[in-house]
Structure 1
């Protein structure tokens, strides 16, 4: 990756002038082009610094990536709590997904770098607190939390991969027409929902699936002694 115009205009930084936050700022700019673009060398070029200057703060790329992902998760901003635990749980799930939507480059590495930093722990703490208020605790709480997180990561990874093939209204480009043209005698159910498939992976579908998941969770919680 070539240095950005801003980096080129700054020139090489003075020795000892780098801080972890400065490096992470640059790493995030580099990662915006895709996580594969993120290397120590690319970040050093963005800063106009030597790679050795970065290694003093982040000895390996994995350490840098973990710090960057923790920084992203630290931006998790759930809505203010209410007296309705299910409403709050929904708000937490949506806020987490919104965070992933704003940082599409982070979705895959968050899945492949599961070691939690404090940012990840805080997400879990807020979600588990809402579940606790609904009487969902222990193994059930861990399973519910895992399900919500898995839904968000899976949905976000899928949606990110489809972004390039979407129209401005968020529908999948040509998918409905493609499926409608299939032989109905072989794929009757697919052809029947071909028009709805234009919204495959849409925000509306996410909202529906999340609602079903949490409604089922609430029903099960209501049966607990």
Structure 2
């Protein structure tokens, strides 16, 4: 008597999680409907019953990984809650190095991204922020809300990577460039950190991220305590 083979049903969730795993392992550039179908053991046309096209697939992948960000902590201190969630988003991006550029590439935010941003505004409002100040805070935080920043000196992002990998030690600028831009040369060589840094010596991406995040949060806290409004901002 022949045995009946039981295949795992093909679902949208299974497709999205397989796509995330493929992008994690080989980079987003390696992702194609054909490669994904091969990983799942199906023909490519089977995927289109669940995702209309690659754009819809990418949106779904973003929603899967954004869903990994921790929910708000049960804490009345808005600053602590916001900081924890942003650092949770940061950890999500370190698990999925392709996600930052994928999020940036979308013309419209996905539903999970919108839900996350909405919950962050809700935390600010519950912390006593006016809608006016919360609006400007979200602008000031920018992509840092989602765990990444658009780095001025990060060549890996310009090359289409995320810049979350271990940084190389600082290297001296060519003499002619250092002479022309002495201040940039000075700070380039001042970017070393403690040997115990989470990502090693050099321009420590995690340190720089948290440094800027804490500066912003401290400044935002002062504005909130002062009852700042855009109507009375300096001209």
- Which position in structure 1 is the counterpart of 2:227? 224
Once residues 78 and 118 of structure 1 are traced to their aligned partners in structure 2, the CA distance between those partners, rounded to angstroms, is 16
Write the mapping of 1:182-197 to structure 2, written as runs, cut at 5 A.
Answer: 185-197=179-191
Is 1:22 the equivalent of 2:14? Answer: yes
Unaligned runs of at least 5 residues, structure 2: 193-201, 229-235
User: In the comparison of the two structures, how many residue pairs are matched?
Assistant: 208
Q: 1:205 aligns with which of 205, 208, 213?
A: 208
- Which position in structure 1 is the counterpart of 2:148? 153
Q: Which runs of 4+ in 1 moved over 6 A?
A: none
Once residues 139 and 48 of structure 1 are traced to their aligned partners in structure 2, the CA distance between those partners, rounded to angstroms, is 52
Following TM superposition, by how much is the alpha carbon of 1:18 offset from its aligned partner in structure 2, in angstroms?
A: 1.2
Is 1:41 the equivalent of 2:9? Answer: no
- Which position in structure 2 is the counterpart of 1:94? 87
Write the mapping of 1:133-144 to structure 2, written as runs, cut at 5 A.
Answer: 133-144=126-137
Once residues 151 and 91 of structure 2 are traced to their aligned partners in structure 1, the CA distance between those partners, rounded to angstroms, is 9
Write the mapping of 1:39-188 to structure 2, written as runs, cut at 5 A.
Answer: 39-78=32-71, 80-151=73-144, 152-155=147-150, 158=154, 161=157, 170-173=166-169, 175=170, 177-179=171-173, 185-188=179-182
Tell me which protein shows more helix as a share of its residues: 1
Per the normalisation by structure 2, the TM-score is: 0.74
Following TM superposition, by how much is the alpha carbon of 1:188 offset from its aligned partner in structure 2, in angstroms?
A: 3.0
Following TM superposition, by how much is the alpha carbon of 1:159 offset from its aligned partner in structure 2, in angstroms?
A: 8.5
- Tell me if structure 1 keeps the 8 A contact 2:37–2:43: yes
Per the normalisation by structure 1, the TM-score is: 0.77
- Tell me if structure 1 keeps the 8 A contact 2:76–2:127: no
- Which position in structure 1 is the counterpart of 2:233? none
- Tell me if structure 1 keeps the 8 A contact 2:172–2:189: no
Following TM superposition, by how much is the alpha carbon of 1:217 offset from its aligned partner in structure 2, in angstroms?
A: 1.0
